[in-house]
Amino acid sequence: MPWTMDDYPASLKNLDKPVKKKAIEIANAMVDEGYDEGRAIPIATNQAKEWKSNASEKEVKDFLKNDDPTKRDSNASHSNPDLIDNAEEVVPHDDGWAVQSKGSKRPSQVFDNKQDAIKRAKEIADNKGTETIIHKKDGSVQKRS
């Protein structure tokens, strides 16, 4: 069951609202990618704290204004442990650049900026112990790492 701002792990209770919301968003995406909940929560918490420390006040305010990103699309696929060993890809998307596990039907996140997508893909790949595959706008492979 995905976490929301009203229903989340007790370990997130004392986090300030933007960090908690970001941690929930990241943890839900990680669980969708096949991570175990017990592993996703501390990783997401650390990444959310890092995001907050690097985010501008405007970014934080914009993030808090957006609809609750923890709500799930009823058609969304749920975690697929078969993808846990797959590389993370950065691929062109209608809304910018998507980060997804190779073979996944939907992205875990979409970014306006390719560099932000690459950074996130590398974080996920490092956590999974897999490679990162970065694609060009035409879909061909630009770089593997």
DSSP state of 55: S
Beta bridge partners of 72: none
Separation of first and last alpha carbons in the chain:
33
Model pTM above 0.85:
no
Spell out the domain ranges in the chain.
Answer: 1-71, 83-145
* CA neighbor of 22 nearest in space, from 33, 10, 14, 12: 12
Which tens digits make up the pLDDT trace of 83-104?
677 889 999 998 899 999 888 7
Confidence band of 111 (pLDDT split at 50, 70, 90): very high
Confidence band of 108 (pLDDT split at 50, 70, 90): confident
Q: Which residues contact 106 (CB under 8 A, 6 or more apart)?
A: 76, 77, 100
Note the pLDDT of residue 9. 87
Check: CB of residue 52 under 8 Å from CB of residue 60.
yes
